[in-house]
Structure 1
Amino acid sequence: MKLHQLEALVASAETGSVRSAARRLGISQPAVTRALRELETEQQLPLLVRSPTGLSFTDHGQALLAHARLILNQMRQAEEQMGLRRGRLEGRLCVGITPWVSLILLPDVLRAFRQHMPEVQLELFDSFAMIAQPLLRTGSMDLIIGQPSPGMSPQEFRIEPILRYETGIMVRRDHPRMGCDSIHGLLDQDWLLNFAPDGRERLIEEVFTRHGAQLDPRRIVQANSALLAQSLVEQSDMCTWVPKIMAVAPMFEGRTVILALRERFMACDLCLISRRHTPMSPAAEMFIHCLKSSARAHARKSGAWSKLLHVATQAPSEGSGRG
């Protein structure tokens, strides 16, 4: 396989046609067609299905496409890292960030990062780790800051805790069950929860089962958007399990509360998730430094925050993240 063949394959997949791929790559349409045919001939497998409506991929083509994207993204990252080491503070950094960090810490992180690396092009995804994972796998994303899903393999991903946060049950202020002191008094309410496809049972076990509570599954509404969840909780009688920091953040403070239940819920690790065996770029290292600095600064400014966020004081060992 040659580089120009992989570039033709990825460009064709992302644009949907040979003509558009040629335009993106800045080469002729026959050159793209030739590269694709050479690739199919070398692999002795049908990779593409050509039709009047455009291109689609066979199963063989989809398998090769995943590798091609990873190879091209790793080459781009290698070029950017070498440029940074030569003193060229340019390149691209793509980060998936769990919503509560985006809402609370990210503005300060961006200001600090821009001061150090103003020429680096940032692409940010406000996304739960389980949703961003495919982008990380293909190399389209450099790192994820979030809570790993149970199915994330330590053989494929490096998972490093960077801070720990407390969790609890949140409802709107003036909720009818504001005075409730046990999760057992909330089982007749509707619940807004988010979880990975392979994480539902673990979440139910942590929030309900281990406290002797059994929630009717029909009471659960799954939400994959933090803003959607926040809006619904504020405007309804729904309950949700969240990082406690959400209730004391300036944008939400006074509108929602964490209930003082006698049950204690697990503290979770906010983790840096990256591809194993791929070196961390200087830009990514700077982003993480700015994130930790922002968390420490918020904890110093507010006693309430210091009880809810515990920033790692030293780099943890690889693979030590909790889900």
Structure 2
Amino acid sequence: MKIHQLQALVASAETGSIRAAARSLGISQAAVTRSLRELEAAEQLPLLIRAPEGISFTEYGKTLLTHARLVLNQLEHAQNDLARFRGRAEGRLSVGVTPWITLTFLAETVLLFRKRMPDIQLELFESLMAVAQPLLRAGDMDFVIGQLHPSTATQEFSCEPVLNYETAVMVRRGHPRQHCRSVHELLDQDWALNFAPDGQDALIEYLFTRHGAQIEASRIVRAQSLGTLQMLVERADMCTWCPTVLQTAPLFQGQLVALALNEKFDSRQLSIVTRRNSTLGGAARCFIECLLQVIRKHARSARKEDLALFDTLTLLV
């Protein structure tokens, strides 16, 4: 299995045809076809399904494609690190960022990182973990700043803890149920929540069933972005469950109310999430260092805003 064969495989997947793959790689169509046939022959498995309208992949091809992307990403990191040793810090860094970090520490982190590595092409995904996880798995993200379920972490990903953060059921200020004291009083309300495609049952169990409450699944709207969640909470009077720190974030300040419910919810852990057995490049390590520097600065601050911020956060590093 050779690098040029993996490049041909990935390019074919990303462009949808042999001809387009050849253009993206700057080589002939015949060279791409030859690389793919050599790869299939070496592995003794059919990898592609060729049709007049384009190409698709067999199950074997899809499996190899996932690994090929990871291999090429790791090779790019190695080349970028070597370029840095030659005095040229270039390349691309793709980071998934949980929304409440975007609203609190991200801007300062990016400014600091850009000062240290101005030639790195930085790509930021503001995404809840349910959205970011598939991209991280496929190698389309270098790492994620977010919260990951422990069972997933042990299988595919590694987590470096950064912060513990409190969570709460929240509604807009002035919501008719703002003063309720139990989740049982909210079962006739609609909810905007974020969860993985297979995570709704576990979330319903955590928020309701374990407290003896039963809610209709149709009451729950899966919000894939913070903007969608905010709109549904503020304009459609939906309830949500999210990090309490959002109360103090500028975008939400004064608009969200954490309900003082009898039911308690565990604190969550914000971590640097990476693919297990992968190696972070120099740019990724630099970005993480910048983030930690910014968080520590705010944790030590006596400013009113920072004190309010760290009322619901516990620094772990």
Does TM-score exceed 0.5, indicating one fold?
Answer: yes
CA distance in 1, matches of 2:4, 2:32: 9
Q: Which amino acid aligns with 2:183?
A: I
Q: In structure 2, what is the equivalent of residue 139 of structure 1?
A: 139
Q: Which amino acid aligns with 2:89?
A: L
The answer to whether structure 1 residue 167 and structure 2 residue 167 are counterparts is: yes
Residue 166 of structure 1: CA displacement? 0.9
Secondary structure of residue in 2 paired with 1:214: coil
CA distance in 1, matches of 2:71, 2:87: 25
Q: In structure 1, what is the equivalent of residue 44 of structure 2?
A: 44
Q: Gapped runs of 5+ residues in structure 1?
A: 314-323
Instruction: Assess if the C-alpha contact under 8 Å between 1:150 and 1:198 holds in 2.
Output: no
Q: Percent identity?
A: 55
Residue 150 of structure 1: CA displacement? 5.0
Instruction: Assess if the C-alpha contact under 8 Å between 1:129 and 1:149 holds in 2.
Output: no
Show the 5 A alignment for 1:201-212.
201-212=201-212
CA distance in 2, matches of 1:96, 1:43: 34
Residue 53 of structure 1: CA displacement? 1.0
CA distance in 2, matches of 1:134, 1:29: 31
Q: In structure 1, what is the equivalent of residue 3 of structure 2?
A: 3
Instruction: Assess if the C-alpha contact under 8 Å between 1:74 and 1:139 holds in 2.
Output: no
The 10-residue stretch of structure 1 (23-32 or 290-299) with the greater mean CA deviation from structure 2 = 290-299
Q: Which amino acid aligns with 2:311?
A: K
Q: Which amino acid aligns with 1:292?
A: L
Q: Which amino acid aligns with 2:143?
A: L
Cα offsets for 1:260-314 (capped at 9, x unmatched): 333332111011111222222222222222222333344423221121122223x
The 10-residue stretch of structure 1 (98-107 or 239-248) with the greater mean CA deviation from structure 2 = 98-107
The 10-residue stretch of structure 1 (192-201 or 266-275) with the greater mean CA deviation from structure 2 = 192-201
Q: In structure 2, what is the equivalent of residue 149 of structure 1?
A: 149
The 10-residue stretch of structure 1 (15-24 or 286-295) with the greater mean CA deviation from structure 2 = 286-295
CA distance in 2, matches of 1:253, 1:171: 13
CA distance in 2, matches of 1:104, 1:78: 32
Residue 43 of structure 1: CA displacement? 2.4
Q: In structure 2, what is the equivalent of residue 199 of structure 1?
A: 199
Secondary structure of residue in 1 paired with 2:269: strand
CA distance in 2, matches of 1:155, 1:181: 38
Residue 137 of structure 1: CA displacement? 2.4
- Number of residue pairs the alignment of both structures matches: 313
The 10-residue stretch of structure 1 (301-310 or 204-213) with the greater mean CA deviation from structure 2 = 204-213
Q: In structure 2, what is the equivalent of residue 25 of structure 1?
A: 25
Secondary structure of residue in 2 paired with 1:304: helix
CA distance in 1, matches of 2:216, 2:62: 40
Instruction: Assess if the C-alpha contact under 8 Å between 1:40 and 1:47 holds in 2.
Output: yes
Show the 5 A alignment for 1:85-164.
85-149=85-149, 151-164=151-164
Q: In structure 1, what is the equivalent of residue 311 of structure 2?
A: 307
Superposition TM-score, scaled by structure 2 size = 0.91
Q: In structure 2, what is the equivalent of residue 231 of structure 1?
A: 231
Q: In structure 1, what is the equivalent of residue 78 of structure 2?
A: 78
CA RMSD of superposed structures (Å): 1.9
Secondary structure of residue in 2 paired with 1:263: coil
Instruction: Assess if the C-alpha contact under 8 Å between 1:149 and 1:196 holds in 2.
Output: no
Q: In structure 2, what is the equivalent of residue 282 of structure 1?
A: 282
CA distance in 1, matches of 2:259, 2:162: 27
Instruction: Assess if the C-alpha contact under 8 Å between 2:162 and 2:316 holds in 1.
Output: yes
